[in-house]
Amino acid sequence: MNQVTLSDVQRAAARLNGVAHVTPVFTSSQLNIAAGAAVFLKCENLQRVGAFKFRGAYNAVAALPPDRTATPVVTLSSGNHAQGVALACRLLGRQAHVVMPGPVNALKRAATITYGATVHEAADRQQGDRMLGALLEETSGVHIHAFNDPLVIAGQGTAMLEFLSVVPDLDVVLAPIGGGGLLSGACVAAHGVKPGLRIYACEPIGALDAIQSVRENRIVPMTNPCTIADGLRSSVGDMTLPILHAHLSGFFTVGEHEIVEAMRFAFERLKIVIEPSSAVALAPVLRREPALHDQRVGVLITGGNVDLSAFFPTFLRKREPAP
């Protein structure tokens, strides 16, 4: 079993040094008043590819044996991991094959192709898994899983290390949970340097498998996720689950309207673009969860890749004066 340690996260930080952005930590007096707490936002929406996923992907690709640079990287993702792997491979001179199970977001596909990856579209997850197997065989490639990989977990943990280096006296940290890659990496990093920090997982009510999995300490598969938080539709993995079970202090669940309201708060008041998955971790702060009252609360803002194509045309139309 591959255990992930603080040293792994520190090694990842060394690999990412000068490559990943050291993202800023935002504060806002308006947010503090709304939350009844001192809130710190680690803005991974400002990370390369617009999400923390670049960290884990780059760490995993950079750790591949240098004598086999011709070996392509193969992954399955229709989201931010796809872009992370694509950019990491471009930077490190490797070919990337990305299987995208539908429905595919046109913007994320376009970005992944822009970074130089070959995209293979699959009708659904099942067909995607079959295509992934076939591609691995055909290309003799190496598979980098979106979260169930110790190097990916360690890479994501670097965001938490940075966060605590800027705000060492946090009481609580909130992060969204999908497959658990970011959160498990954050647990290892945070408790490696600050054992008493309380870490909470945040999950949409419409995709409530991870909380159940951690409670029961077994993988409860996700069935029919129904949430706008498209980054949180995965089930946890057998590498992330034991870390989460050991480290988490608790959970917050949020509804779909709360997700939209938290996005809206970020856009309108904080002037930053966050994606629905990030809003899942901001929503408990905005509804003033009692456990956060008067605490120093860190929130991992995981990404900012929102499809805004529906917005801008209406914006111009709406503002054009009547003839």
DSSP calls for 115-133: TTPEEEEESSHHHHHHHHH
Contact letters for a second copy, residues 20-59 (x by CB under 8 A):
----x--------------------xx---x---------
Query: Which of these ranges, 53-61, 62-70, 243-251, 270-278, lies near a second copy under the rule CB under 8 A?
Result: 270-278
Number of residues that bind a second copy (CB under 8 A): 33
Q: What distance in Å separates the CA atoms of residue 23 and residue 147, rounded to the nearest whole number?
A: 21
**Among residues 264, 288, 293, 294, the one that binds a second copy under rule CB under 8 A:** 264
- Select which of 28, 53, 234, 278 is catalytic: 53
DSSP 270: I
Instruction: Please provide the distance, in angstroms rounded to a whole number, between the alpha carbons at the two ends of the chain.
Output: 69
75 forms part of the interface with a second copy (CB under 8 A): no
User: Measured from the CB atom, is 63 or 205 closer to a second copy?
Assistant: 205
**Distance of alpha carbon 170 from alpha carbon 37, whole angstroms:** 11
Q: Is 53 a catalytic residue?
A: yes
Min CB(187)–a second copy separation in Å: 26
* CA–CA dist 1, 264 (Å, integer): 42
The whole-angstrom separation of Cα 132 and Cα 134 is: 5
Quick one: how far is CA 80 from the chain centroid? 8
Is 235 part of the annotated catalytic residue set?
no
> Footprint of a second copy on this chain (CB under 8 A)?
24, 45-46, 50, 107, 226, 228, 256-257, 260, 263-264, 267-269, 271-274, 276, 304, 306, 308, 310-312, 314-316, 318-321
Active-site residue set:
53, 78
